[in-house]
Amino acid sequence: MIRITQLKLNPDHSEKDLREQIRKKLKLNRQSFSYEIEKQSVDGRKKPYLKFIYTVAVRIADYSEEQQQAYVQRINDNNIMYTKENRYQFPKADKDRLSEKIVIIGTGPAGLFCGLMLARAGFRPLLFERGSDVVRRSEKVQKFWESGILDTECNVQFGEGGAGTFSDGKLNTQIKDPAGRIRHVLEIFVEFGAPKEILYAAKPHIGTDILTKVVFQMREEICRLGGSVFFDSKMTDICIKTKEASVLINDSQKVCFDRLVLALGHSARDTFELLYAKGFLMEPKSFAVGVRVEHPQEMIDDYAYGENIYELPPASYKVTYKAKEGRGVYSFCMCPGGYVVNASSEEGRLCVNGMSYSKRDAKNANSAVVVTVTPDDYKQFGQGALSGIAFQRDLEEKAFREGNGNIPCQTYESFKENKKGVSFGEILPCTKGAVAPANLRNILPEELCGSIIEGMEGFARQLPGFNKKDALLLGVESRTSSPVRIVRDERLVSNFDRIYPCGEGAGYAGGITSAAIDGIRVAEAIAADADEQTEKGV
C-alpha cells in the first residue's frame, strides 16, 4: 500500500477535500483509489491558524503491489512511501483445543482480551471476576459516590472491565508493536461499539459511558463462542503443589485448571498477598504517586488552540519536568472535560483517579501530577516484594483521615503555603464523590511535595497558568501502576508451570491498550504451548 504523511487540511474540511488532497499529492488523474486514515492530529503551532494533519494508507485500483511500489518511486516525495500492510493474525491451528481447561482470573482488559482471543481460537475459557457485571457494578459505584458506602469487592477498581472502565478510556500507548497488535486491539473495540475514530485519532479515547457497553458486548461474544464468565467470584485460594491444580472461588467452589491466567489488576492487594504466601516469585517495582490537579478546560483549550473559528474537541496536554534532586515529575492520565473520582477499594483508605465521559463536556480538565518512586523510597515498610503496597496503604490511610472519608482538596496556593484549604477561588471541583477541605502535605512525604511544587512551577513555563493560585489539588493519586511484578519467563509463565501472570496488575502493562496487548500475547503463548503438547501426546 502507499502511505502519505503530513497531509494538511483546515479543521472544517470535508471528506471530498481529503480525497482531492490525496489525488493531488499522488498526481492521479482519473484513476480510482481507496484510502484509510491511519492517524489524525491537530497542528496548533501557528495559532489561531490550525490544521488537521493526516497519515493515510492508499490503494490505487487495479494496481498490483509491485506497480504501486514502482509508482511511489517515480513520485519521489519524502512524505510518500510504499509499505507492506501489517495485519495481525492470531496463530491458527487445526488441533482440537476443547480438552484444555483454561481459567482466567480477572475481566479487565488483559483478562477480557485473553479470553476473547482464546475463545476465537477454539478454546472454552472460564473467566472469574471478583466484582459484579458492568451494569450492577455501575449502580454500586454510583451509590458509593453518592452515599460513601463502599463495596470492597465491587467498586471503581474491581468489576467487569477492570479499573479502566471508570477512567477516561484512553487507548494511546507508547509500547512498540511490530506485530500489529495495537491496531488489532482498536479494531476489536470498534467491532464491539467504540467509535471508529479511535482507529486514527492521535490520542484515542472511548469514555466511560461507551466503554461499559463495549465491555458487555465483548463478554457476550466470549460466551457465544463457548466460554463462560462468572461474576462476584473471587479467587480465595490456589492449589498448585498437587497433581490436580485448582483455584478456590469464594472459599467454597473448587475449579480445576490445566492453565491459569492471573489477570488481576493493580489493586488486587489481597490476591498479591495470597500469591506471595504460596511461593510465587515477585519483586517490587517503581511506580508514581502524587495528586490530581484541576484547571478550567477553557484555559487548556485556549493554550492549545488560541482564538479560532473552528469547533474542536476538548484539548489535552502532557507535561514533564525533572526536579533538582533528580526525580521525574509528570502529568499522567490527563482527562479533558472530566471528573476527579473517589476510586477507593479498601475501608479506611482513600485514593483518586480521573474519569471522562465520551463527550468530555465537564467544566474542568484534570490530570495526575505524580512523582516517580522506587523500591528504595518504601523499603522501610518491609514486607519484601509487597513493600510498595504497604507504602500505598499508608498514603491512602492518611488521605482518608485528612478528608474524613471524603476526597481531600485544596488550592495550589494553600498547598504551597502548607495550609489547610478552606475556600475555593474561581475554580470549583468537578468530582464524583464528596470533597473536604484539607492539606495534602499531611499525606505525602515532604520530599515528594517539594518535587510537585517544583514541577508545577516548571509546567507553567510550558503551559502558562498551570500554577494558578486557585488551581485545585486533590488526593491521593497512589495507583498509577502496579507496585509489584509477578516474575515470568520468556514463555510468559511464572515459576509455577502453566500459570501466566498477565496485564497491569502483574506488572507487564500500563494502561488499557498495553494490558489488552499483554492479554493477547498470553493467549498466543497458551495456544502455541497447548498445540505443542497435543502434538507430543502429553
Residue 76 contacts by C-beta under 8 Å, 6 or more apart in sequence?
Answer: none
In Å, what is the CA distance from 362 to each residue of 340, 359, 430, 464, 466? 11, 9, 7, 21, 18
* Lookup result for grid cell 495559532: 47
**Sign of the four-CA dihedral 74, 79, 80, 86:** positive
Give the Cα separation of 191 and 393 in Å (integer). Answer: 39
Is the pLDDT confidence value at 190 over 60?
A: yes
Please give the average per-residue pLDDT across 206-224, as a whole number: 95
Residue 458 contacts by C-beta under 8 Å, 6 or more apart in sequence?
Answer: 321, 329
For the chain, report the end-to-end CA distance as a whole number of angstroms: 44
**Sign of the four-CA dihedral 393, 162, 199, 72:** positive
Which residues are paired to 239 by β-bridges? 246
Instruction: Say if residues 333 and 144 touch (Cβ distance below 8 Å).
Output: no
What is residue 147's predicted lDDT score, i.e. its pLDDT? 96
* The amino acid at 283: E
Give the Cα separation of 465 and 425 in Å (integer). Answer: 14
Structure confidence at residue 536 as a pLDDT band (50, 70, 90): low
Specify the 3-state DSSP secondary structure of 318: coil
Give the pTM. 0.94
Is the pLDDT confidence value at 78 over 60?
A: yes
Instruction: Say if residues 22 and 35 touch (Cβ distance below 8 Å).
Output: yes
* Lookup result for grid cell 455501575: 138
* pLDDT tens digits along 340-382: 999 999 999 999 999 999 999 999 999 999 999 999 999 999 8
* Lookup result for grid cell 480465595: 236
What is residue 349's predicted lDDT score, i.e. its pLDDT? 98
Is the pLDDT confidence value at 174 over 90?
A: no
Give percent of the chain with pLDDT exceeding 90: 84
What is residue 538's predicted lDDT score, i.e. its pLDDT? 53
